Each structure stands twice: as C-alpha cells, then as structure tokens.
Structure 1
Amino acid sequence: MRDIREGAAARQLWGHLGWQDIKQRYRRSVIGPLWITLSMGVTAAGLGLLYSQLFGIEVQTFLPYLTVGFIVWGFILGCLTEGSDTFVANEGLIKHVPAPLTVYALRTVWRQTLMLAHNMLVYLVVLALFFGPLSTPGYLLSPHGAPQPGLSWSVLLAIPAFALLAVNGGWVTLLFGIISTRYRDIPQVINALTQLLFYATPIVWPVDILTTKLGPGDWKHLILELNPLYHFVQILRAPLIGSTQSWHHWAVVGGFTVVGWTLALLAMRNYRARISYWV
C-alpha cells in the first residue's frame, strides 16, 4: 500500500513519462499525436460503412456505436497488452531509479488515457454529424432491435464509467505486469486471447442482432454475458450514444474491480521485491 500511495503521489513523474511516450512515438511527424485520431477516424468510417451495409443497419446510428466501441476497446487493449510489458519495458528505470513500482503502472494507464482523449475527437465529430438520430427517443441500433432512449443528461455517466475503467487499468497493469515479468510467455497468450475476445465482444456487431436471431431467452446469450470485456465496453459506450444502460454491467465491472485489486495487492506484497531481479 505504501508503494501505491507513493506512486500515486508522484503524479508529476508518471504524468511526464506518459506524455513523453506519446511525443516520442510521433517524433519528427508533421501532425504528431493527431495520427492517433486520424487512424481511428479512418478505421471507424471504413468499417462503419461496410458493416452497416452487411447488417442492413442505418449508418447514422451504427457508426457512432462502432466508433465508441473502438475507442473503448483501444483503451482496454492498451492496458492489457502494454500493461503486461510495463515492467520489462521500464527495466532501465527500475534498476537505476529508486521509484515506486506503481509509477510505471500509472505511466502506462496515463499513456492510454491520453490516446483515448485523442480518439474522443473522432467521437465529437461523429456526434456533431449524427446528433439528430442519436437524440431521437426510440431509435434502433438494428432492424427489429430494442428501442433506445436516446442521448440525454445520462451522458454524464460516462465520467464515472471511465474512472472505473482507469481504476481497473491500474490493477490489470500491476497484476499482469508482475506475472509477465516472471513468465515472458504471458504477453503472447494475452495477445492471442484479445484477438479472440475482440470478435466475441459486440464492437462491430450490435447485441440486438444476436437477440433477433437467437431469441431473448436463448442460453447462447450466456456466451456474451460471460465475456467480461462486454460489460467494460458497455458501461462507457451506452451513455455516450444514448443506448440502454443496465445496472448489471456496473455490478460485473464493480466485482472485477474488487477481485482484481485484491489479487494485485497480493501479488505486490509477495513479489514486489523480486521484480528488479526478474527484469
């Protein structure tokens, strides 16, 4: 706990390191970090136009759904993949700088937060273009799907939703970072599983399509509900596009927060002193 407190207090250090990561990645580039925004915008526009035609969905409601899904997924994916390498990537600093290990985890989460902030520019553009359809009560995400309430003041729920995602990003980075430092095959396993979970998570396809094809009470819905990333994506995406928000998504994410931080604290207590030797 002392390591976590001191790491959180050193916000100037991890804040500067995280910002330098973004600047270094796009050094000598003409538009710099705006390449993050541009690549997200091109990906969302291309896949949104393609999948809206494949699924027979109105592009003015599906494109915001897909765009926000990609933005949230990018943050989650970054915390998983880059978080598992966080201590290995900071080997030089760990061996020569007497800083709390939590600094390097917060550096990773802060870097992903900055990238999400750049990608939110794409969301603002999409929102400006399709504000009318999204703010219409009863709009549909797919043909014969459930009517959605539309954008309202519930959009403010996105603030605590992102805070909860960032808190989970902290334990993910600490826990998987410690495990991956000892077992270097873990990042490869995480990369393979995230590719599978991407297609199993409703990002490029709406949940309504599954409900329409299988029926609302089909047992196959358990496959979706047992995917934890679906709940993490939904708590932030739903308020941003005026979609139906269910309390059970918050309950699942809250449960993962408690269990995840418990495991991360146990790992820190037992293995924190060994990380400098493992790297």
Structure 2
Amino acid sequence: MRVGLDDIISGVRRRDVWLYFAFSDTRARYARSVLGPWWITLGTAIGVIGLGMVWSSVMKINLSEMLPNLAVGLVIWFFLSGVISESSACYVNQSSLIKNYNLPLFTHNLRLISKHAINFLHNLAIVFVVFVIYGWPSGTNALWSLLGLLILFANLIWVSVVLSILGARFRDLGASIDALMPILFFLTPILYKKSDILGSSAWLDYNPIAMLFSIVKSPLAGEIDFYSYIIMAAVAIIGWFVAFSILSAKKQKVVFWV
C-alpha cells in the first residue's frame, strides 16, 4: 500500500497542477459565452423550478416544501453523478499526460473532482436563493448536513480512484455506469424524502448512494439518521484501504492500459 499512499500524498501536494487544470476546464467549456460558468446554475435552476412545479402537483405537496427539498437534491445529485460517471474515463481521457509526464495518478482524480466541485459551488447559489425565500434550516441541522457533505467527499474521492483504474482496464465500465445512473436517480431520494415512501423502504437502506445522499440532504428537512452516518464513515475507511491497495498494485500498469 506504500506506493498508493505515496502517489496520493504527492498528488495532493501538486495542487498547482490540478487546480489550474480544473479552472481551465471550466473556463474552456464556457469560453466566449455571456454568463460563463453561471450557465450551469441557470440550467439547474430551470430544472428545479420545472420539476418542482410538476412533482408538487403529482405528489400533492406544497411548492414551499417541495422546492427546497428538490433544490438540495438536484445540486447534490449533479455533483455526485458527475464524478461517478466521468471517473471511469478519467485516466483514459488524460492518457497523453500520463504517458508523457511523471505526475501522480491521483492528480487526475483531484482535477476531475475539483472541476465538479466548482460546478457544485455555482449551483449552491440556487439553494441559497430557495432558502432565502422559503426559510433557512436550523443551525444544528445545517451542521449535520455539512458533516454529511464531508463524508460524501471522502467517499467520492476513493470511488473515483477505484473507478479510474478499473475503467482504464475494462472499457465497458463507463457504458455500464451510464446505463445504471438513470435507475439510481429514481432509487435515490431526490424527488422525494425517505419518509414519503409508503410501506417497506428496505431498498433505500441497501442503496449506498441513497444513504450517502441522505446524510447530506435529510438533515436539512429535519431527518437525521445516525446509523447512516456511521455506515458511510465506515465505508469511507474501508474504501480508502481498497483504493490504496489497488493503486499500489496497478499504478505501473495504467500507462499501458490507457
């Protein structure tokens, strides 16, 4: 595991590289546009308003209750799903850098996650506006949500490393993830709250993404599940051990796979 640990430590230290590329990727995507990266926020805002109006009618829920729940849900989902979907092709897309420059592999994962974190921060403006209109959550609930966000980041980083290595070796992985994400969208409490599910909701308890998602979103709605925090913190510890092991074993082979 020493090789993997050294690579991750070295990657973190090269923040001059991955932060530069993350901001460059964002600027390049919206070059010469009027709003720039704020197009991300506008698109998400339209989705929140549109889905909010439709689902509040379908589920017979007050719009004032639906919009805060949906705004938080979509912002978290876009961040989470974006990192997971792109991670399988992370090393493949950066093959020229991997082959020609002696950079830690973890640098490319941090570049990917930082890019989506920038998008996430832009989208938080929507959540801020919604909370200004419909009221803020309590300070205690906001702190629990922040703790959940930290655990979310901890899990997404090791997941990105593992998927990047597996995606470099097995090219079908990306297509499989893309096919799975729409299903996970409806199996994750984005358009609804866990308490809205009638009858058995055991499938939510066995969906790690739903559980990871809920520890950020649910506290803002006044629902705190301590069990989920413990489980996802344990998953993060185990996941990082797996990431260290796989990175140590396969780092030298990645350059041949990409």
For 1:224, the aligned partner's letter is L
For 1:245, the aligned partner's letter is I
Q: CA RMSD in A?
A: 1.3
Task: Name the counterpart of 1:115.
Answer: 119
Between the aligned residues of both structures, percent identity stands at: 28
Task: Name the counterpart of 2:59.
Answer: 55
The residue correspondences of 1:125-204 to structure 2 (distance < 5 A) are: 125-131=129-135, 151-204=138-191
The answer to whether the Cα contact below 8 Å between 1:152 and 1:242 also exists between their aligned partners in 2 is no
Task: Name the counterpart of 1:263.
Answer: 242
The answer to whether the Cα contact below 8 Å between 1:151 and 1:242 also exists between their aligned partners in 2 is no
Where 1:244 maps in the other structure, the secondary structure is: coil
CA shift, 1:154, in A, is 2.9
| Structure 1 CA distance for aligned equivalents of residues 140 and 224 of structure 2 | 13
CA shift, 1:157, in A, is 2.8
2:209 corresponds, among 229, 244, 253, to 229
Task: Name the counterpart of 1:143.
Answer: none
For 2:68, the aligned partner's letter is P
The residue correspondences of 1:82-101 to structure 2 (distance < 5 A) are: 82-101=86-105
CA shift, 1:255, in A, is 2.1
Which structure dedicates a bigger proportion of its chain to helix? Answer: 2
**5+ residue gaps, structure 2:** none
For 1:172, the aligned partner's letter is V
Task: Name the counterpart of 2:12.
Answer: 8
For 1:233, the aligned partner's letter is F
**1:145-180, CA deviations, whole angstroms, 9 ceiling, x for partnerless residues?**
xxxxx5233312333322221221211111000001
| Structure 2 CA distance for aligned equivalents of residues 160 and 7 of structure 1 | 24
Where 1:32 maps in the other structure, the secondary structure is: coil
Where 1:170 maps in the other structure, the secondary structure is: helix
TM normalised by structure 1 equals: 0.88
The answer to whether the Cα contact below 8 Å between 2:193 and 2:218 also exists between their aligned partners in 1 is no
CA shift, 1:20, in A, is 0.8
1:275 corresponds, among 249, 254, 257, to 254
**5+ residue gaps, structure 1:** 136-149, 215-219
TM normalised by structure 2 equals: 0.95
CA shift, 1:78, in A, is 1.1
**1:77-117, CA deviations, whole angstroms, 9 ceiling, x for partnerless residues?**
01111111110111111111111001001111111111110
Where 1:23 maps in the other structure, the secondary structure is: helix
The answer to whether the Cα contact below 8 Å between 1:155 and 1:242 also exists between their aligned partners in 2 is no
| Structure 2 CA distance for aligned equivalents of residues 242 and 57 of structure 1 | 14
For 2:239, the aligned partner's letter is G
| Structure 2 CA distance for aligned equivalents of residues 231 and 161 of structure 1 | 10
**Matched residues, number:** 254
Closer/same/farther in 2, CA of residues 16 and 191 from structure 1, 3 Å limit: same
| Structure 1 CA distance for aligned equivalents of residues 150 and 16 of structure 2 | 19
| Structure 1 CA distance for aligned equivalents of residues 235 and 92 of structure 2 | 25
Where 2:191 maps in the other structure, the secondary structure is: coil
CA shift, 1:201, in A, is 1.0
The answer to whether the Cα contact below 8 Å between 1:19 and 1:111 also exists between their aligned partners in 2 is yes
The answer to whether the Cα contact below 8 Å between 2:189 and 2:214 also exists between their aligned partners in 1 is no
The answer to whether the Cα contact below 8 Å between 2:167 and 2:173 also exists between their aligned partners in 1 is yes
